């Protein structure tokens, strides 16, 4: 397995501090949702090099629909309750999947994906979508990813969805 490394900072926490500040700066003063989600996905993808795909699925009725992302083309529509994304949206909780082959119902978008973390984005108590990260390594994500991605999702919720 390839060693897990970070583009910025000396540790995963350090990398996330830089990511948080970059996203905060990019979103300040801009209210366009697509632009803000696209820049957020880009910062995450190019700062954490154990991530093979990162993007947003946005709630549209009873479905999640693919939003801004970085990585290979992905499935467009996921029904609530389906896959890791649909389960995170329904349970309103982060789902960390150390090995996608062991998650029943996991939806394969990229056959190289081996682990995944999905964080719901909730604004005014309403689920707006999810933030999804994939890695081609098993066990790529841990509690440091979870706490930092939840903090980033909360910022995105405030800056992108509460402003509407």
Residue with the closest Cβ to ligand SME?
Answer: 83
Nearer to ligand SME, 116 or 145 (CB): 116
What is the rounded distance in angstroms from the CA atom of residue 164 to the CA atom of residue 160?
A: 7
Candidate segments 1-9, 24-32, 40-48, 101-109, binder of ligand SME by CB under 6 A: 101-109
Residue 103 C-beta: closest distance to ligand SME, Å: 7
Residue 25 C-beta: closest distance to ligand SME, Å: 27
CA atoms within 13 A on the CB side of 43: 22
45 makes contact with ligand SME (CB under 6 A):
no
Residue 75 C-beta: closest distance to ligand SME, Å: 6
Interacting residues with ligand SME between 50 and 69 (CB under 6 A): 53
3-state secondary structure of 133: strand
Among 134, 135, 140, 152, binds ligand SME (CB under 6 A): 134
Contacts of 141 (CB under 8 A, 6+ apart): 96, 98, 115, 116, 117, 133, 135
* β-pair partners for 65: 58, 77
First-residue to last-residue Cα distance in the chain: 43
106 makes contact with ligand SME (CB under 6 A):
yes
For the CA atoms of the chain, what is the radius of gyration? 15
**For residue 163, which of 20, 27, 25, 19 has the smallest C-alpha distance?**
27
83 makes contact with ligand SME (CB under 6 A):
yes
Nearer to ligand SME, 107 or 155 (CB): 107
What is the rounded distance in angstroms from the CA atom of residue 23 to the CA atom of residue 37?
A: 10
Among 109, 119, 131, 152, binds ligand SME (CB under 6 A): 109
Residues that bind ligand SME (CB under 6 A): 53, 74-75, 78, 83-85, 106-107, 109, 113, 116, 132, 134
């Amino acid at each position: 397995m390839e060693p897990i490394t970070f583009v910025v900072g000396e540790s995963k926490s350090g990398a996330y501090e830089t990511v948080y500040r970059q996203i905060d700066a990019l979103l300040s003063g801009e209210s366009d949702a697509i632009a803000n989600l696209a820049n957020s996905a880009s910062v995450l993808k190019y700062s954490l090099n154990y991530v093979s795909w990162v993007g947003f699925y946005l709630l549209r009725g009873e479905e999640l629909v693919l939003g801004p992302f970085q990585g290979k083309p992905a499935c467009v529509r996921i029904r609530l309750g389906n896959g890791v994304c649909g389960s995170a949206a329904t349970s309103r909780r982060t789902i960390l999947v150390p090995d996608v082959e062991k998650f029943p119902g996991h939806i394969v978008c990229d056959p190289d994906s081996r682990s995944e973390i999905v964080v719901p984005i909730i604004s005014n108590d309403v689920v707006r979508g999810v933030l999804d990260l994939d890695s081609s390594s098993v066990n790529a994500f841990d509690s440091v990813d979870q706490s930092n991605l939840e903090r980033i999702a909360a910022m995105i919720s405030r800056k992108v969805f509460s402003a509407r």
